[in-house]
Amino acid sequence: MVRQSLIEDLGKIIKKEQIMLNEPMSAHTTFRVGGPAELLVQPKLEELADLTAFFKERNLPYTVIGNGSNLLVSDNGIKGAVIELGRAASEIRVEGTRIYAEAGAMLSKTASTAASFGLTGMEFASGIPGTIGGAVVMNAGAYGGEMSRIIKEVTVLTPEGTKKKLSPSELKFGYRSSCIAENHYIVMSAVLELEKGDRDEIAAYMEELKKRRVEKQPLEYPSAGSTFKRPEGYFAGKLIMDAGLRGYSIGGAAVSEKHCGFVINKGGATASEIAALMEHIRNVVKERFEVTLEAEVRKLGEFK
């Protein structure tokens, strides 16, 4: 239970309209499921260091999220505080062939901004429903591109509350991974290095990628994108399909018939049903093919 005195003290750091109590996380995740966060705050970047210090002083655990596009939040919600880096921390600035983007900036908007300035290299990210911060954390990628190839520098907030600039080599990028989570850093902003290109060609390629997504992905349903990471030497979606799980459902959670790599909320799903379906998929694929699928979706809160 978050005490009123804590809220009053918190109001000295951020405005009241940036503070929400018992906020349903279903409104903050692309799966559209999840119970309430005891406390959810939406700070500006310049408020972040003071905010995290405030929570640490009061021994209040906190979780940092972006657009909630890669999260599965428990039906019981999240204890403590949720720091959502979104619209209040979403500035995008273009300087020559470089783009400065705050952590809460949407990838799609950043990619379209790049295109409008005739900058190429970020087209792959135009349809990824996440933020710059989340994309850095997991080295997001699609259609042969990934963040590690366009990042020049990332500014993070360390657990000690200091700002630190990291180069691509220091970020230790891997497949859907970086050093951010293991070091408990919070991404504040990123500098992207792109190249000059032809505006019409960039727009045409982005339109082509959009058509591919519409044709192959279940964009009409809430989901967290690709549910599992690509196992080495395989494709998760094909393994799931070959295991006979196309369309398999538990309650309102289902394996997409359009693309078996997606678990979707076909209507009224709970987080528990989605988690149970993910576990069933893992078990069946392991039994059939001796391949262990690793979730790309991150769970928050308590699950049975």
φ, ψ at 72 (rounded to 5°):
-125, 110
Closest by Cα among 180, 185, 196 to 147:
180
87 labelled catalytic? no
296 labelled catalytic? yes
Length of the chain: 304
- For tokens 């009224």, the residue is 268
Q: What is the DSSP string of 162-213?
A: -EEEE-HHHHT-BTTB-STTTTT-EEEEEEEE-EE--HHHHHHHHHHHHHHH
Count of beta carbons in the 10 Å neighbourhood of residue 294? 11
Which one of the listed residues 126, 189, 226, 256 is annotated catalytic? 226
DSSP β-bridge partners for residue 189:
102, 155
For the chain, give the longest Cα–Cα distance. Answer: 57
Which one of the listed residues 38, 146, 273, 296 is annotated catalytic? 296
212 labelled catalytic? no
Which one of the listed residues 176, 230, 282, 288 is annotated catalytic? 176
Active site residues: 176, 226, 296
